[in-house]
Amino acid sequence: MKVTNTGPKILGFGLLHIAPGETKELPAGFGAEHPTVKFFLGRGWLTQTSDGGVLVPSGTTSGEDPPEGDLMQMPLTSRNVSRMRLEQLREVATNLELSWVEADTRAVLIEQITAKLSETDEQR
């Protein structure tokens, strides 16, 4: 099973470690029904990836758009921001007039957005 770490932290599966943004094949015994894999998939920190490198969120097929959820409708808090996908973070960064480049990772964007949110809260 090939997966991408979409979470904010390094994830471990036996001797294999996957950094945020990395895609790797899980070791034998770590299938979709493994409790650790289910936990990370449920949190949105891990996404199953097809062979072509296209993210396939659980509950969808490769031809469907991933579920948006309500994160973009919720108030911006550091907790909500940390749960967003890279595309959502880029949209939020643009809305907050933050500059970003394609090479920015989720962690970089989360840090920039939460810093901007803290700055805005201090001004209030």
Nearby residues of 103 by Cβ (< 8 Å), 6 or more positions away = none
Q: Where are the beta strands (DSSP E) in the chain?
A: 2-5, 11-13, 16-18, 23-25, 46-48
Name residue, tokens 């967003």. 84
**Structure confidence by residue, pLDDT tens digits, 40-96:** 888 888 888 765 444 444 443 333 343 445 455 566 777 778 888 888 888 888 888
Q: How many Å apart are CA 117 and CA 115, to the nearest integer? A: 5
Q: Is the pLDDT of residue 11 over 60?
A: yes
pLDDT at 72: 53
Q: What pLDDT, on the 0 to 100 scale, is given for residue 50?
A: 64
Token code pair at residue 100 = 């970003």
DSSP-assigned beta bridge partners for residue 21: none
Q: Token digits for 53?
A: 């490198």
